[in-house]
Amino acid sequence: MSSKDDDIIYGLHAVQAALEHNPDTVDSVWIDDQRSDKRLQAIKTAAKSARLRAQITPKAKLDKLCNGGRHQGVAARLLPIKIRRENELFDLLDQLDATPLLLALDGIQDPHNYGACLRSAAAAGVHAVIVPEDKSAPLTASARRAAAGAAETVPIFRVKNLSRMLKQLQDRNLWVVGAVGEQSQSLYELDLSGPIVIVMGAEEQGLRRLTREHCDYLARIPMPGNMESLNVSVATGIFLFEVLRQRS
């Protein structure tokens, strides 16, 4: 990937979501000069609403901007998303009318996994995603493409010390549930109907020691098949939607 990957997103869904949900993060939009279907017209309209002029450009230029990725005739350059400060998380919790559901990502390294976790978080109605400052993937355009618009809709909080933040959330009566592979307790044995923080570990190492120690419960996903583990974004979706199932 070239350095352009740091700020270019592409594809109909990703660009439409950015324009609709967080237009202030979009700097420029390009549309294939050979396409004029309804979905691209909708993107033109959304760009106009965001006070942006969609630039009609040859497909070859789009191919170059997107490093040969499948752009579906549209690309956009993004400005950085605002990553919120940890003290703002408490303000958000104080204003919530619903039972809190938070997701903490303990050192996710791969931008695509990061983005996919954000997508699952948005689909499950997570109120905030928490990531540590160290040993975490940056929110690049690659991550934002994988998130398919979720990075523009779910508040993201970067914290200096994840373990300390988990303790502060426990002090606010949230239960902290960490996902592990080897723990004997099944996810489906837990009561997840109350205020919850789901904590997912890194791709290879899983949860760090201090993170584990600050979890109220550690749980695994039962897998009767012969696979030892799941991709972290898949596991994230399973944990989050089990919370929703119990709450419904």
- 51-95: pLDDT as tens digits: 998 899 999 999 998 888 889 999 999 887 778 888 899 999 999
Domain ranges of the chain: 3-78, 86-247
pLDDT in tens, 88-134: 999 999 999 999 999 999 989 899 999 999 999 999 999 999 999 88
| pTM, two decimal places | 0.80
pLDDT at 53: 87
Identify the CA nearest to 113 among candidates 248, 243, 237: 237
Which CATH fold topology does 86-247 show?
Answer: Alpha/beta knot (3.40.1280)
Q: What is the CATH number of domain 3-78?
A: 3.30.1330.30
pLDDT at 3: 33
**What does the alpha-carbon distance between residue 113 and residue 142 come to, in Å, rounded to a whole number?**
10
**Would you say 220 and 185 are in contact if contact means Cβ atoms under 8 Å apart?**
yes
Q: Say yes or no to pLDDT of 243 above 80.
A: yes
**What does the alpha-carbon distance between residue 165 and residue 19 come to, in Å, rounded to a whole number?**
32
For residue 98, how far is the Cα from the chain centroid? Answer: 20
Q: Looking at residues 39-62, what average pLDDT do you find? A: 91
